[in-house]
Structure 1
Amino acid sequence: MARIPREKIDEIRQSVDIVDVISQYISLNKKGSGYMAICPFHDDHDPSLSVSQSKQIYKCFVCGNGGNVFTFLQEYLHISYLEAVKMVAEMGHVDMGGYVFEKKEAPIKQELKPLYEMHTEAEKIYSYYLHTKAGTLAKDYLHQRGFDEQLIKTFEIGYAPERGVLHSAFEKLGYSEIDMVKSGLIIESKGHYDRFKDRIMFPLHDENGRIIGFSGRIYKNGAEGAKYMNSPESDIFIKGQILYNYHRCREMVKKEGFVYINEGFMDVIAMTRANHGNCIALMGTALTKGHLRMLGRLTHSIVVCLDGDAPGQAASAKTAQFLSENGFDVQIVTLPEGRDPDEIFTSEGQDGLDEALGRRQTYLEFLIKYESSRLDLANYNDRRTLLDRITKEIAKLNDKPGQDHFIKVLSDLSQFPENTIRELMAEHKSEEVPVVDFGDIVTKVKDTRRILDKYNQAERNLLFYMLNDKAVSDKYEQKVGFMYNDTYRVLASYVVDYYRNHAIMDEADLMDRIGHDQERLIHTLAAIATLQLPLPYDEKAIDDYIHIISQNALKMKKEQLKEQFHYVLDPKQKAEILKEMINLDK
């Protein structure tokens, strides 16, 4: 791939506004001259992520994560620097002709390769048997359900025959019995035999499209066993990290702007047949943090569409709450009781499913209806439970008209006056994490630590003003040129070097020049650039910082000479060291 020149990187970064990009993934709220958000890089409950539109950088004041637009996409989406550059170029409509971006997948561990290979072979074998005489009944069943050849091919559907075929095939291919059992496709019990027999097989994929498991469905009336049988968890198949259809739905999600969450893969197939391919399904597990990271790479607009029965509605409430608490924009489709998308499509076709999917509610609308249906609102305690549960959610809304609407709805349902609801909302908003008084902590540490803090503060503050004015950087270079803190010293050298070719500092550009792999430097730069120090600066304050730093450098030099004097045995060398120490005191 041709190396992307610095000028092109600058053009790409400057083609977008970091606020617009980050707001696609998390909710930003205007605060002063910048924006604040719940930080997605640690377990955050109060906004601690600051985004500076003027500097085009972001910084979390709790976990320390920070950087420019490329850094955010790298960290948030877990992608490479070049992939982040490509994404920003697409967002900013920058022509990248002549530059080829190859997606680099993480290398597969050597011990896992046989497991992936066996699943790929299994899919080929199952697909073959579906189109043989042995698979006739299974194929007829699929055709009766409306599965044409294209749909079968798209979802790689196959058939596991009654007699086991995988074990003998794997033996011929040279796989060990241990790896066969590890794959989950072969069971060890008084010998070795295939896990799946006489079932229609649906491959399960990871986010990169690699087959990592299967779900087998019975198709004969009166057949024994569970309706669906899934692969057991293995080293490559972990339910909490898998979303069915994830690798297929990306383009459709990009086009539609949101993704449906369904309960099962048959629902996903039905949705796809009805031209709603922007959908994924959970694999028999609750939503996890791993799922959230995957969804965040697709979109932050989610439509929960689970089954219409009581367990499905309970799962919808839990799923929607989890998504909402983690910054996703959530809507819920309430399906008719006891029905799922697959059943609706089978009986009513695309029009029936379209109509059902059109009955969406916001998370709060759904929650009020759901909680009300589970409570006896003629009972005071139940009304109070509803009040407490819903008031917390209303307090999280950022728009006043929305708050006013739901306050009235809740007041009508709970029979509590609106002013009582507003008072409770105020209490919820004031429940903040206690602020640590660092001043108290400082007074309790040793004097040596306080002195070190004093020097660190001087270096940090001087760096802030160096970022804001070339004259301060020039003064630092002329009068000191040294910082005791290793990270600050390296940053200062980058700042000085940057001003040799630029009259004005661009922190986002400086981060690119430092390099995307220098995480500590970039996070520190983001922290310093977002300090709230007085501007314009006071010349005396700058001189004081330089004096403190110079004194510290002098002190460190003296200590170094004292140590040398103590260990040197040669009288002449001792005399030279002593002379240098005396000169430093003049």
Structure 2
Amino acid sequence: MAIVDEDVERVRTATSIVDVVGEYVTLRRVGRNLVGLCPFHSEKSGSFNVREDTGRYKCFGCNAGGDVFTFVQEIERVDFATAVERLASKVGIELHYTSGGNKGRDRQRRNELLEVMSAAVEWYHQNLLESPDARAAREYLRARGLSGDVARHFKLGWAPDDWDTLCTSLKVSPDNLREVGLGFVNKRGRMQDSFRARVMFPIFDESGNPVAFGGRVLPGSTDPAKYKNSSETPIYAKSRTLYGVNWAKTDIVKADQVIVCEGYTDVIGFHRAGVPRAVATCGTALTEDHVRMLKRFAKKVVLAFDADAAGQGAAARFYEWEKRYDVEVYVAKFPDGRDPGDLASSDPDALTRAVAEPTPFLGFRVQRVLDAGNVRTPEGRARTAEAAVSVINDHPDVNVRRMYAAQVAAHTSMPASDLTRAVERGNVSEPVVFAAPAKQATEGAGFIAIALLIHRWDDIAPWLIEELFAEDSYRVAFRVLVEQNGNVARALSQVEGDAADVLERASVVDFDADPLVEARALIAAAVRRELAHHSSTDPEHIRGDRQARITLDALGDVKRADAAAVELLQWLVARTTPEP
């Protein structure tokens, strides 16, 4: 089962590639291009280019490139059909499918389960807003600043204290309810609701599809499980899902910072405080899959929970992730150990300051040791320094270890040379080596002409012929562009390899060049190349070559340039066309 081609094109036309890429990359305008840091590889100088007029993107550092569908496929790690479906959902286009195929059935099944979850979100939400049974829940949320617009924005809900109200109200199959974790068969063989007497926090994926729930009992409940989360399902994996990422990702990209919390109310608290770039794990520790996801959005990961409690194993993972994914892990320190959800109501400015000035993860751990140590006696200073060195040695970069050793020496009045020697070995002594970003090559006249053909077709197309291009890849790129009347998207569907690379790169660059001047330069280069490499003893060819050399000089004369260009193009075609 595939999406019909007409619908794919409708989605492509209705979607702004700048808006889509802008959810993940901070773009700045440079001429007609939009440029930013590539989300697919680590770089410090922006080589990632986006063009609204062609609907293409290209990175000159890692060579990633494509259209809006390719971007969604790569950034969200989904197949083509899923990328089209997600974009269609954003622009409100209903898709139609051809029949056949297991993948199509799997996709249809996923969509069915998402529809069940969407219905449940609305049912719980309306129950919270309107049901008399939810009065205590509304009062609880109001007391915590989570009512009204906040409850509506985050689609908070209420699961009533009944056995099967949801299961009987949704009018969906028991199999679907069981598969998404909303119901189960009890000992009597009847369907029963999985969540009862709980405030419901719906969990959405990156694209805004509801995939799971977290439920919290009200204060005074006799239920020993304060929180209950959805079990894993075909549409929900805890290790790859972050609560709030659907609301936060745009601000994460803008700030180049993501805040990772422990709980759902912490995320909402950050939003209430005007810091809408917070997410939370769903009942698990932060995983590598989470970091891999977040790396696409931001370089700085700020932990808004007690990071030291995670232990040495977590520290080793954080350092490894910093190196592997080129992220920087920080810790936000909150006054008096208060959680973000409470600070959002009592002191939102403190919440903002905590994430505006976070501490590097290793610095946070070292400071914890120094604060807890006794530096009033020689013995206390020695023990404190030893404990700090033990923490520092967890870090894999010897240069980082040396700098923190100097800080510890200053705090404990221990000899800096001794502490530096103590951290030289470490647990991993190899320094982190960062690769320099690839540089964009200087492009020649042929490439400039192809780019202008894409972006300024009417101005340059009449002056170009295939024989002007020296390399086969440029000739193929030119030929297919002409066949498609300059439509680069259709042209790219017809080629691969080097020609496709030429078109990809040319589709996103911006040359502030005069098309006529560039065309004449290309004509002159082609004529000189032909004269240099293909001499002839034929008297007629010799006369033609002599005239071509004379006409070349006329290209520099404004009054004669157009006529000279036409004459040279005719000569070039005649010279390169095989005789019958």
Matches of 1:215 and 1:431, distance apart in 2: 41
Alpha carbons of structure 1 residues 168 and 239: separation in structure 2 relative to 1, 3 Å: same
Alpha carbons of structure 1 residues 372 and 76: separation in structure 2 relative to 1, 3 Å: farther
Please tell me whether the aligned partners of residues 215 and 229 of structure 1 are also in contact (alpha carbons under 8 angstroms). Answer: yes
Amino acid at match of 2:347: G
Alpha carbons of structure 1 residues 310 and 124: separation in structure 2 relative to 1, 3 Å: same
Please tell me whether the aligned partners of residues 58 and 68 of structure 1 are also in contact (alpha carbons under 8 angstroms). Answer: no
Amino acid at match of 1:343: D
Alpha carbons of structure 1 residues 289 and 15: separation in structure 2 relative to 1, 3 Å: farther
Please give the residue correspondences for 1:442-453 in structure 2 after superposition, counting only pairs within 5 Å. Answer: none
Measure how far apart 1:165 and its partner are: 0.5
Please give the residue correspondences for 1:155-554 in structure 2 after superposition, counting only pairs within 5 Å. Answer: 155-163=154-162, 164-170=164-170, 173=171, 175-190=172-187, 191=189, 192-307=191-306, 310-311=309-310, 318-319=317-318, 322-323=321-322, 325-336=324-335, 338-346=337-345, 348-370=346-368, 378=382, 385-386=390-391, 388-390=393-395, 392-395=396-399, 405-406=403-404, 408-409=406-407, 411-412=409-410, 415=415, 417=417, 420=421, 428-429=430-431, 493-498=472-477, 515=492
Matches of 1:253 and 1:331, distance apart in 2: 15
Alpha carbons of structure 1 residues 314 and 270: separation in structure 2 relative to 1, 3 Å: farther
Matches of 1:337 and 1:77, distance apart in 2: 39
Percent of residue pairs bearing the same amino acid type: 25
Amino acid at match of 2:222: A
User: What's 2:138 paired with?
Assistant: 139
Please tell me whether the aligned partners of residues 243 and 279 of structure 2 are also in contact (alpha carbons under 8 angstroms). Answer: yes
Please tell me whether the aligned partners of residues 184 and 195 of structure 1 are also in contact (alpha carbons under 8 angstroms). Answer: yes
User: What's 2:530 paired with?
Assistant: none
Matches of 1:328 and 1:523, distance apart in 2: 32
Please tell me whether the aligned partners of residues 257 and 302 of structure 2 are also in contact (alpha carbons under 8 angstroms). Answer: yes
Please tell me whether the aligned partners of residues 372 and 386 of structure 1 are also in contact (alpha carbons under 8 angstroms). Answer: no
Please tell me whether the aligned partners of residues 302 and 328 of structure 1 are also in contact (alpha carbons under 8 angstroms). Answer: yes
Matches of 1:188 and 1:273, distance apart in 2: 39
Alpha carbons of structure 1 residues 250 and 517: separation in structure 2 relative to 1, 3 Å: farther
Task: Give the alignment's Cα RMSD to 1 decimal.
Answer: 5.3
Matches of 2:368 and 2:493, distance apart in 1: 47
Please give the residue correspondences for 1:22-171 in structure 2 after superposition, counting only pairs within 5 Å. Answer: 22=37, 26-28=41-43, 57-59=60-62, 75-76=74-75, 78=77, 102=91, 109-130=107-128, 131-163=130-162, 164-170=164-170
Matches of 1:233 and 1:336, distance apart in 2: 36
Measure how far apart 1:236 and its partner are: 0.9
Amino acid at match of 1:129: N
Amino acid at match of 1:58: G
Deviations 1:9-65 (A, max 9, x none): 9xx9985889x63356754379xxx99xxxxxxxxxxxxxxxxxxx96234xxxxx7
User: What's 2:21 paired with?
Assistant: none
Please tell me whether the aligned partners of residues 320 and 332 of structure 1 are also in contact (alpha carbons under 8 angstroms). Answer: no
Please tell me whether the aligned partners of residues 308 and 337 of structure 1 are also in contact (alpha carbons under 8 angstroms). Answer: no
Alpha carbons of structure 1 residues 181 and 109: separation in structure 2 relative to 1, 3 Å: same
Matches of 1:16 and 1:73, distance apart in 2: 23
Size of the aligned set, in residue pairs, is 416
Unaligned runs of 5+ in 2: 1-9, 19-27, 48-57, 84-89, 96-103, 374-379, 435-440, 447-469, 504-532, 534-580
Instruction: Say which SS state the counterpart of residue 286 (structure 2) adopts.
Output: coil
Measure how far apart 1:212 and its partner are: 1.4
Instruction: Say which SS state the counterpart of residue 58 (structure 1) adopts.
Output: coil
Instruction: Say which SS state the counterpart of residue 109 (structure 1) adopts.
Output: helix
Amino acid at match of 2:285: A
Matches of 1:186 and 1:319, distance apart in 2: 37
Alpha carbons of structure 1 residues 411 and 521: separation in structure 2 relative to 1, 3 Å: farther
Measure how far apart 1:517 and its partner are: 9.1
The equivalent position to 2:36 in structure 1, one of 12, 21, 44, is 21
Matches of 1:199 and 1:120, distance apart in 2: 18
Instruction: Say which SS state the counterpart of residue 299 (structure 1) adopts.
Output: coil
Measure how far apart 1:153 and its partner are: 0.7
Measure how far apart 1:331 and its partner are: 2.5
Matches of 1:261 and 1:209, distance apart in 2: 18
Instruction: Say which SS state the counterpart of residue 290 (structure 2) adopts.
Output: helix
Alpha carbons of structure 1 residues 357 and 314: separation in structure 2 relative to 1, 3 Å: farther
Deviations 1:483-537 (A, max 9, x none): xxxxxxxx974334357899xxxxxx999897379776689989xxxxxxxxxxx
Matches of 1:290 and 1:105, distance apart in 2: 31
